[in-house]
Amino acid sequence: MLDILRRIVQEVNAAPDLEQALNIIVMRVRVTVNVDVASVYLVDAHNSQYVLMATEGLRKDAVGKVRLNSGEGLVGMVVEREEPVNLDDAPSHPRYRFTIETGEQPYHGFLGIPIIQHGRVLGILVVRQRQSRKFGEEEEAFLVTLAAQLAGAITHAGASGEISRLLETPDKVSVVLHGLPGAPGVAVGQAMVVYPPSNLDAIPDRKITDVEGELAVFRDAVAAVQDDMRDYSNRMSGVLPAEDLALFDALMLMLGSDTLVEKTMERIRAGNWAAGSLRETIGEHVRIFETMEDSYLRERASDIRDLGRRVLTHIQSDRSASRPAYAQTVLVGEDISAGQLAEIPMEQLAGIVSASGSSSSHVAILAQSMGIPAVMGVEGLPVYRLEGQTMIADGYRGDVFVNPSVLVREEFVRLQAEETELTAGLKDVAGQPSVTPDGVSIPLYLNTGLVSGIEPELHSEGDGVGLYRTEIPFLMREQFPGEEEQRRIYRKVLEAFAPRPVTLRTLDVGGDKMLSYFPVREENPFLGWRGIRISLDHPEIFLTQLRAMLRASTGLNNLTIMMPMISTATELDMAMVLINQAIDELIEEGEPLQRPPIGIMIEVPSAVYQVKAMAGHADFFSIGTNDLTQYLLAVDRNNSRVASLYQSLHPAVLCAVQHVVEQAHKLGKPVSVCGEMAGDPAAVLALLGLGVDSLSMSVSSLPRIKWVIRSFTREEARAVLQQALEMDDPLAIRKLYNSVLEQGGLGGLVRPGN
Identify any residues that bridge with 694 across adjacent strands, giving them in sequence order.
Answer: 672
Give, for 333, the enclosing helix (H) or strand (E). Answer: strand 329-333
Q: Which residues of 727-752 are buried (b: 16+ CB within 10 A; e: fewer)?
A: beebeebbebbbebbeeeebebbbbe
Could you tell me if 563 and 601 are in contact, meaning their C-beta atoms sit under 8 angstroms apart? yes
The Cα 8–Cα 163 span in angstroms is 23
The helix/strand/coil state of 502 is: strand
Q: Which amino acid is at 385?
A: R
The Cα 181–Cα 352 span in angstroms is 11
Query: Who contacts 216 (Cβ-Cβ below 8 Å, separation ≥6)?
Result: none
The helix/strand/coil state of 669 is: coil
Could you tell me if 621 and 351 are in contact, meaning their C-beta atoms sit under 8 angstroms apart? no
The sheet carrying 180-183 orders its strands as 175-178, 399-402, 390-394, 186-193, 329-333, 349-354, 374-376, 180-183
DSSP 192-218: EE---TT-GGGPPP-B-S-HHHHHHHH
Q: Which residues of 282-294 are buried (b: 16+ CB within 10 A; e: fewer)?
A: bbbbbbebbbeee
Beta strands in 79-174 (DSSP E): 85-87, 109-117, 120-129
The Cα 457–Cα 436 span in angstroms is 25
Angle, CA 59 vertex, CA 57 and CA 63 arms, to 5°: 105
Question: In three state form, how does the secondary structure of 627-651 look?
Answer: HHHHHHHCCCCCCCCCHHHCCCCCH
Pairing, β 186-193 against β 390-394: antiparallel
Catalytic site positions: 362, 674
The Cα 225–Cα 637 span in angstroms is 41
